[in-house]
Copies of this chain bind each other. A is one copy, B any other.
């Protein structure tokens, strides 16, 4: 058992080493141009060892992105759990939205490399079939986090229909993601920077929208 656990640990360290090198290469050269050989070189390992861990470039990209997304989602999940504990399961809407947006925005402002990679990796142009598979994988990772946040909105506004809160959370997410992509379907978004003022703004705007929509008109 001790031996097996050591092997697993070595495998995880090797994966982390490869991921770090892969991120640098994908971000510097794009998905199409980066090669497995270059990534192996950057990681200081043989290419055969790299393909032992990740058969294809696509698989490597997918797993590298998943590592960063999962770390990001974990931060958000932890912030929500802290909030729910503090409020005895009865949070207010603004605090729920803040638990979602603050961990990520704080990390961005502090220049956290992991978060920056997660954001940048989601922006990399991929061949469209890879892109849609990746979306499906990211969606599966994201689903439990999303459910936990909508549950918290239901706890905050128990008289509202879950469906409307779900749509309201979607709308909030759209604003939140616009902070990172800095685009509106091809149009630049100059006002949206990750400043403390805009962070507060999206939370208050989102909460006003969600409260306003909580009951049908």
Contacts and interface: CB of A to CB of B under 8 A. Distances in A.
Contacts of A139: 187-188
B184 A173 contact: yes
A78 interface: no
A148 interface: no
Interface centre among A122, A183, A198, A209 (most CB of B within 10 A): A209
A62 to B, nearest CB: 12
Copies of this protein chain in the complex: 2
A110 interface: no
Interface residues of A, number: 46
Interface string A48-68: 000000000000000000000
A125 B125 contact: yes
Interface stretch (A19-27, A81-89, A153-161, A162-170): A162-170
A42 interface: no
Contacts of A173: 184, 187, 189
A185 B72 CA distance: 14
A175 B177 contact: no
Q: Majority SS of interface residues in chain A? A: helix
A213 interface: yes
A217 interface: yes
Interface in A103-146: 119, 122-123, 125, 128, 134-136, 138-139, 142
Given A174-B174, A187-B142, A188-B135, A168 B122 contact: no
Contacts of A136: 188
A163 to B, nearest CB: 8
A202 B191 CA distance: 20
17 contacts: A125-B125, A136-B188, A142-B187, A166-B191, A168-B205, A171-B205, A174-B174, A174-B175, A174-B178, A177-B178, A204-B217, A205-B209, A205-B210, A208-B209, A208-B212, A208-B213, A209-B209
* Shortest beta-carbon contacts, A-B, top 9: A208-B212, A174-B178, A122-B186, A177-B185, A209-B209, A205-B209, A177-B184, A174-B175, A171-B175
